């Protein structure tokens, strides 16, 4: 079974949420999608009502899903998922735009994906069937109802879902971010990649890959940025000599500190102090 409904752009542009397309795929072993970052501008929600399938994280790790599981991709997220070839899933899906302050949407945007288990399956089926009825011939008068059905679906997810053990894959990013906080707090130390990786409990290669995915930069780039941020704070709030500021930020030589600071900020540490310390004093 393949049901696919495309929704025209709404005439009213300020709905809290609104579907772009939605549908149902059941018993289709070839059902699979692979989208790179930025390919899909909307949120992408899938609810597994039967059968099996899987998603693949950007790290290459695969997570198996079955009836009662679901996933929500954030806007412009990397996406890869597929039905099981011998037991393909029965899946209901919605691509949608939303401006709601729901934790599930924030988490999907932050991590790229939100994985969950859900109850109240009959209610989700009822809501989706009502959307399909409207989707067969959408009129302008149907727009508020479509928005309301989507809103109820998201609200129900917010209160009827739990995070399954599979989300431990996503918690790796939390571990990486905790390691990043440790590196920033101790940026004056001389870090090797192995020492940074040990904070998270990963091999150097795995840590480097996960760190780049979680922060958008390499560990060494993050360390250099953290040192410059601390230097800027010390320059603006203390009267320490430039050489001592550099030492407290992990730079053994003042000349190297000045060179790196100028490269990052476009001016020398002393010029930065003159520009920002006076502002801090004036503003209290």
Q: What is the mean pLDDT of residues 117-126?
A: 90
Within 10 A of 90 (CB to CB), how many other CB atoms are there?
19
Q: Are residues 61 and 124 part of one domain?
A: yes
Whether residue 55 lies inside any domain: the answer is yes
Residue 122 and residue 56 share a domain: yes
Residue 34 falls within a domain, yes or no?
yes
- Distance CA(45)–CA(255), nearest Å, equals 53
Structural domains counted in the chain: 2
Give residue 170's pLDDT band: very low, low, confident or very high (50, 70, 90).
low
Please name the residues in contact with 235: beta carbons below 8 A apart, sequence gap of 6 or more. 242, 245, 269, 272, 273, 276, 277
Q: In the chain, which ranges are continuous DSSP H helix? A: 103-111, 121-135, 143-160, 168-185, 193-200, 204-215, 219-237, 242-248, 254-265, 269-283
What are the residues facing 113 on neighbouring strands?
Answer: 73
The predicted pLDDT at position 205 comes to 81
> E-assigned strands of 12-89?
17-26, 32-35, 43-50, 52-56, 62-66, 69-73, 79-83
* Statement to judge: residues 14 and 88 lie in one domain: yes
CA distance 79 to 37: 8
C-alpha dist (Å) from residue 57 to 42, 54, 73, 74, 169: 18, 10, 11, 13, 8
CA 109 to chain centre: 4
Give the H/E segment covering residue 98: strand 90-98
**pTM exceeding 0.75:** no
- The CATH number that applies at residue 28 is 2.60.120.280
Kindly report, residue by residue over 194-240, the tens digit of the pLDDT: 999 999 998 888 899 889 888 888 999 999 999 999 999 999 999 99
Please say if the pLDDT value at position 61 is more than 60: yes
- Whether 134 and 201 map to the same domain: the answer is no
CA distances from 99 to 14, 43, 77, 142 (A): 9, 11, 17, 20
Q: Could you write out the DSSP letters of every residue in 170-215? A: HHHHHHHHHHHHHHHHTTTS---HHHHHHHHT--HHHHHHHHHHHH
Q: Is the pLDDT of residue 83 over 90?
A: yes
Letter string b/e over residues 56-78, b meaning 16 or more CB atoms within 10 A of that residue's CB: bbbeeeebebbebbbbbbbbbbb
* Of 211 and 280, the one with more pLDDT: 211
Its domain, for residue 239, covers 188-283
Question: Residue 77 belongs to what H/E stretch?
Answer: none
Section 104-109 average pLDDT = 91
User: Is the domain of 136 the same as that of 276?
Assistant: no
**Average per-residue pLDDT for the chain:** 91
Confidence tier at 172 by pLDDT (50, 70, 90)? confident
Query: Residues 209, 59: contact at Cβ < 8 Å?
Result: yes
Q: Is the same domain home to 208 and 127?
A: no
DSSP label at residue 5:
E
Identify whether 114 is part of a domain.
Answer: yes
208 within 8 A of 180, measured Cβ to Cβ: no
> Do 231 and 124 share a domain, yes or no?
no
pLDDT tens by residue, 5-58: 999 999 999 999 999 999 999 999 999 999 999 999 999 999 999 999 999 988
pLDDT tier for residue 160 given thresholds of 50, 70 and 90: confident
The string of pLDDT tens digits covering residues 175-187 is 898 999 999 999 9
Q: Given this model, what pLDDT does residue 163 score?
A: 60
Q: Stretch 149-174: mean pLDDT, rounded?
A: 75
Quickly state the pLDDT bin for 171 (edges 50, 70, 90): low
């Amino acid at each position: 079974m393949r049901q696919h409904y495309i929704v025209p752009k709404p005439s009213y542009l300020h709905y809290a949420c609104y579907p772009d397309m939605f549908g149902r795929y059941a018993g289709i072993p070839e059902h699979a999608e692979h989208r790179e970052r930025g390919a899909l501008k909307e949120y992408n929600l899938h609810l597994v009502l039967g059968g099996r399938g899987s998603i693949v994280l950007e790290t290459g790790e695969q997570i198996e899903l079955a009836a009662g599981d679901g996933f929500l991709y954030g806007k412009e997220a990397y996406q890869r998922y597929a039905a099981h070839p011998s037991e393909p899933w029965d899946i209901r899906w919605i691509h949608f735009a939303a401006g709601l302050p729901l934790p599930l949407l924030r988490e999907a945007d932050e991590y790229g994906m939100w994985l969950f288990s859900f109850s109240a399956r009959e209610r989700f089926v009822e809501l989706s069937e009502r959307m399909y009825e409207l989707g067969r011939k959408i009129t302008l008068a149907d727009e508020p109802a479509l928005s309301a059905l989507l809103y109820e679906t998201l609200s129900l997810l917010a209160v009827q879902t739990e995070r399954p053990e599979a989300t431990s894959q996503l918690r790796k990013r939390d571990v990486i971010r905790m390691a990043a906080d440790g590196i920033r707090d101790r940026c004056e130390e001389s870090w090797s990649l192995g020492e940074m990786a040990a904070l998270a409990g990963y091999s150097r290669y795995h840590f480097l890959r996960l760190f780049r995915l979680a922060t958008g930069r390499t560990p060494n780039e993050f360390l250099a940025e953290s040192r410059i941020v601390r230097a800027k704070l010390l320059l603006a709030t203390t009267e320490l000599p430039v050489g001592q500021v550099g030492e407290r930020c992990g730079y053994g030589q003042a000349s190297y500190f000045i060179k790196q600071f100028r490269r990052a900020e476009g001016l020398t540490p002393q010029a930065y102090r003159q520009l920002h310390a006076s502002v801090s004093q004036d503003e209290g």
